Amino acid sequence: MTQLFLPVLQPLRQWLDQIEVRDPHVAKQLYKLIPAQCPFARDLKFRGRTLLHIPPLCKLNPFYDELMGLRFRALCYLVDECGVDIQACS
């Protein structure tokens, strides 16, 4: 599906990939704002039995890989450059 949007969204995807994290406050906000896991995956249960499984839909987001890369760069900046304990940020 991402291939379908590739030509139109490519400049925005490249821009997201080129963002450099150089500010601890921005890095911390990015780390908190971008979820590590897809928040949409759910199991609907009734009386202990799974009735329906809703799969994670994040892979359908054409910017998913770029956002995960940005979150990772923010995390690396906080740990490597600032010496922040990530468990304290969560």
Cβ atoms < 10 Å from Cβ of 90? 8
pTM for this predicted structure: 0.74
Of 66, 83, 72, the residue nearest 24 (C-alpha): 83
The 10s digit of each residue's pLDDT in 40-81 is: 778 888 888 988 887 887 877 888 899 999 999 999 999 988
Query: What pLDDT does residue 22 have?
Result: 94
